[in-house]
Structure 1
């Protein structure tokens, strides 16, 4: 097979079992096949709950041994014979959400979880088992989005945005709320309630909604975190804040000061399934409003059914985002409409080699605010 200059072996982080820590090993370098490319991994975004996934605490299912990972920034090293656009040398965003080509409902998160269908589980086990915590990664062509390197990394004096490679990793965080906000067709000029808004994805939702032209009411438990969020965004005059107190009446009265909202975007963590914000936000919506549920709840949540029914509201669930959402969001970044890096309040706390996986995972668990990033650099 033509290796297109790829080395015979590479370093990779290998998880043999959730009861044992992963180890860095020399393994065979993957080769490009039809429909794929091999990418030299430059930066891997470390999700805040990586250690809980890999030690089995979250009970995510995936085949082992496994090279874990998440979305990444990389440079194409070799391509399959059917690649007509992507070429070696391209800087790319590698999306972790893999879908079956003949059944898009078979979907899973590469390097993290094998999904909910027999097809998704087989696809991860037999085809795309290993992911980005390695020097090289083989990925589906459709999961690679070519980035305008000159525009993104070029100097402002030459028409560039002056970002660094680390900054580009924030794209993967922004994609998640973009999927939900686009799914409910958020329009410029509308008002959207985002809750909780002070975590990594909630904060990103505020940035994305503003870039889409909306006004935002950000809800969160911590008043100082809400104040920091408002001071960080590029257009603070378009952000109002309401504290989650646990009392629906108090929250609803606070939300009412800003008038009926057009939409509600929920992205609460698993432990927030009984949070009061779910009800107070819905009670504060106008007739015909739209609701996007992207929270990671594992338990059933209570919603005001009669209000949703009488006000003709649309209630939509959304897991991740559509493939077509990726180039759309990247265009927002490349055009300078959606900021990343320091301009968006993003900060990278460290970029670690594979051997320091524990330090990376521990640090990511500590820093979960808006724009907080920990990266791995294989």
Structure 2
């Protein structure tokens, strides 16, 4: 109920890029129609969060704002039109905001204002603040209920562990979008990054064989060991990319044929020919989910003659999130600390958290802020 909320709370506020964040006392929001106020329990830190807020990654967003991404939270004050969520309910709070009268007006709260006039307006005027705070007012549709008894008591996940959803959901959105099925062989690149490593875990949970591509030999070795020690029946092959399109294609074909590709290429690797190599190894009727910044200039004849499907995907849908939580609650992933190893920091330690997140990457690794 709204009267249970404090008048003010602590939040990590960015007013000036050069000065950086400051922990400040800010007014606690009240719920409105279509929203609920939540108490933040844990918030994820991206590996490139520091770059976003220094401007090194030129992501457009208004200032000032409360930083953040997605969060695990507890409902405190539901809005008057809430039909399901009750005070005390554990929820996953998603950072992807969609315009209610125009779903194409999509943006990432506290990260990127999107590319349409509608998304920019919504971020500027309504949903600019993220979840690096004690409390947040969030859209009802962005709150995904979590079965706390199953997840925390039965399966042994902590609230910090559950923040790994912020990484797992992204590849799940792409894999589900191209209809990955049990028994499929899926190539993932770069598999040694945060989202790629999470993608390997998701594809394995979906019953797929995985071919993990990456440049880092040590990272690939760690990935193999991580999966095999926690999911003994998983089938995971690794291919170290060389930058030679032909050689890499041959290496993939040797462990293929490939049914599907999940591309999560970061901007720094946009010119790498790995996507062309992987596409060459696709079987007839293969599918590609393009979620990164890879070079898409593959052979048109390959696409046409082999009936290749190429689909771009931004993040995931609410239906994806609901379905994924069902998988998690039903024990499709390693239990407890076997899923993820979390480093946790307080709001005042935001610099240390951003530095740690930039280095502590890869499968089963996560950094969080806890207000």
TM-score with structure 2 length normalisation? 0.96
Q: Which residue of 2 aligns with 1:43?
A: 42
Q: Structure 1: how far apart are the matches of 2:347 and 2:216?
A: 34
Q: Which residue of 2 aligns with 1:294?
A: 291
Equivalent residues in 2 for 1:245-264, closer than 5 Å: 245-264=242-261
Per-residue Cα deviation, 1:338-378 (whole angstroms, up to 9, x for no partner): 2365323x2112x2221111111111111111121111011
Shift of 1:266: 0.6
Q: Structure 1: how far apart are the matches of 2:275 and 2:335?
A: 29
Equivalent residues in 2 for 1:96-245, closer than 5 Å: 96-154=95-153, 160-233=154-227, 234-235=231-232, 237-245=234-242
Classify 1:231/1:126 alpha carbon distance in 2 versus 1 (closer, same or farther; 3 Å).
same
Equivalent residues in 2 for 1:350-369, closer than 5 Å: 351-369=344-362
Q: Structure 2: how far apart are the matches of 1:218 and 1:235?
A: 16
Within the candidate set 279, 298, 302, 1:303 is matched to 298
Check conservation: 1:18, 1:54, Cα contact below 8 A: yes
Shift of 1:227: 1.7
Per-residue Cα deviation, 1:238-294 (whole angstroms, up to 9, x for no partner): 111111111122112111122321111111110111112111100000111100111
Within the candidate set 325, 333, 339, 2:334 is matched to 339
> What's the Cα RMSD here?
1.3
Q: Structure 1: how far apart are the matches of 2:31 and 2:293?
A: 35
TM-score with structure 1 length normalisation? 0.95
Shift of 1:5: 0.4
Q: Structure 2: how far apart are the matches of 1:338 and 1:119?
A: 38
Check conservation: 2:156, 2:335, Cα contact below 8 A: no
Equivalent residues in 2 for 1:310-325, closer than 5 Å: 310-325=305-320
SS at match of 1:357: helix
Q: Structure 2: how far apart are the matches of 1:347 and 1:324?
A: 27
Deviating runs (4+, > 6 A) in structure 1? none
Q: Structure 2: how far apart are the matches of 1:257 and 1:39?
A: 50
Shift of 1:301: 4.2
Matched positions, count: 368
Check conservation: 2:276, 2:296, Cα contact below 8 A: no
Q: Structure 2: how far apart are the matches of 1:219 and 1:195?
A: 5
Moved more, 12-21 or 301-310: 301-310
**2:50 corresponds to 1:56:** no
SS at match of 1:175: helix
SS at match of 2:255: coil
Check conservation: 1:171, 1:340, Cα contact below 8 A: no
Classify 1:340/1:202 alpha carbon distance in 2 versus 1 (closer, same or farther; 3 Å).
farther
Unaligned 5+ segments in structure 2 are: none
